[in-house]
Amino acid sequence: MLPVPSYLLRVQLEDRPGSLGSLAVALGSVGADILSLDVVERWSGYAIDDLVVELPAGAMPDTLITAAERLEGVYVDSIRPHTGLLEAHRELELIDHVAAGGTREDRLQVLVDEAPRVLRVGWCTVLSLAEPGLHQVAGSPGAPETQPGTVPWLPLEHAEALDGSADWVPQVWRDMDTTLAAAPLGDAHIAVMLGRPGGPLFRPSEVARLGYLAGIVATIIR
């Protein structure tokens, strides 16, 4: 029996009563089952939502895009396979796991290992300029082997989205159209960086969420 695939669908739609219900009906018409929904951002009558949806085995993910965009005012920003666990309090569990991690190095490894699932990115790494020269303190299993030779955005005072096409970005990252965001870990010379190969771009609310989480983790590992 083929496994039942699930996908993370990011959509932009009008923020009005009934719009989400109409989207659910449209996705249901192609056999999709909505497993979870997170509101990423709201502004000026529109919303950005992340939906984890399950498709029947053998169904093509393109059918989700076609079904959603048949609706007026709906635009699919991105779709990618989803393998993360569905948890209502992902950030709280990550913080709890970091706190129980033991040494500072252990706690940083827990952070980078769990952040991709919690923040819905491809990989996570911690970079440091605290000692002479740039070095990677910790990296998630999905973090690229090729690391930048320099990061001109360090030291970093606050969380921000980074320019994925900048000269410091390794070519292999650019070839994969990787979008990037980073936040300081209690010290402007140490930062946690997120990578999302293939996009989408980081929304301001996602960058703020990274900043809050990094601030809490920095307090724990201090």
Q: State yes or no: pLDDT of 88 exceeds 90.
A: no
Q: Are 94 and 126 in contact (CB under 8 A)?
A: no
Indicate the pLDDT class of residue 130, thresholds 50, 70 and 90: confident
Lookup: tokens for 186:
């209690």
pTM of whole model > 0.95? no
CATH class of the 90-221 domain in this structure:
alpha beta
DSSP tag of 65: H
Listed by start position, the domains of the chain span 6-81, 90-221
DSSP state of 147: -
DSSP annotation of 186 reads S
Q: For residue 57, what pLDDT band results from cuts at 50, 70 and 90?
A: confident
Secondary structure tally for the chain: helices H, strands E: 6, 9
- 131 pLDDT above the threshold of 80: no
Q: 133 with 142: CB under 8 angstroms? A: no
Give the pLDDT band (50/70/90) at residue 3. Answer: low
Cβ distance 140 to 115 under 8 Å?
yes
pLDDT of residue 71: 93
User: Superfamily assignment of 6-81 in CATH?
Assistant: ACT domain (3.30.70.260)
